[in-house]
Amino acid sequence: MASQEIFQATPKLKKASSLINRLESGRFSKLLSRVLQKVHLKEQRTFTPEEETKLQGALRLEPKDLELVLDTTTFIFQQAAYHLAKPALLKTHLQSIELDEEKVQVFVQAWTSQGKAIVEKLRTGTFYPKQLEDVKWRLNLQMAQSTRSKMKQPNALFEFSVREGEEVDKLKVEFSHDELFDFYQKLEAIQQQLDGL
């Protein structure tokens, strides 16, 4: 059986790897520890702007390079948590993006020591700030149009109440019979995937 795919070795990930490979391992280990403390907090940056400025000097990175390193390390840990990656699998995937063995070991050690706690924190939270709060629906049957007097065309109207913080937005959606059936099929596929977790 093929191993599960955690992330693709894209040019952007490989560029981040080359930047990470240049970092001193002790400092990189501390950076990863801080990233792991904040990886479950979606709306919060890992470092304050002042801390990022100090990091740029300490790590000798340009602002955009530091941002790439922080985004990449966060992404790697989020993907590892999502896939419930064992350390050996994470190691294999980190090697595929051309990380030095020393940096791979730093990642694996950090994941081994804190991964379970991160998965638990992420499980209780969500990646998206908007949450579905309520669904109302109504079925309509269109019997005529200005060009046609006899027709039966059903459609369903949905009103989704979506909460973001204290604010609730109402999203209205209309489905034809075929569109509603297609939507239902997608929901069934999602449900099967959730049941499989």
- Going by C-alpha positions, the residue among 156, 185, 190 that lies closest to residue 173 is 156
Q: Is 187 left (phi over 0), alpha (psi -120 to 50) or beta?
A: alpha
Residue 121 above 70 pLDDT? yes
pTM for the full predicted model: 0.61
pLDDT tens readout for residues 154-179: 899 999 999 887 888 999 999 998 99
- Going by C-alpha positions, the residue among 135, 107, 87 that lies closest to residue 20 is 107
Residue 3 above 60 pLDDT? no
Where in the chain are the domains? 11-124, 130-196
Neighbours of 24 (CB within 10 A): 11
pLDDT tens readout for residues 48-102: 889 999 989 999 999 999 999 999 998 898 888 888 889 999 999 999 888 999 9
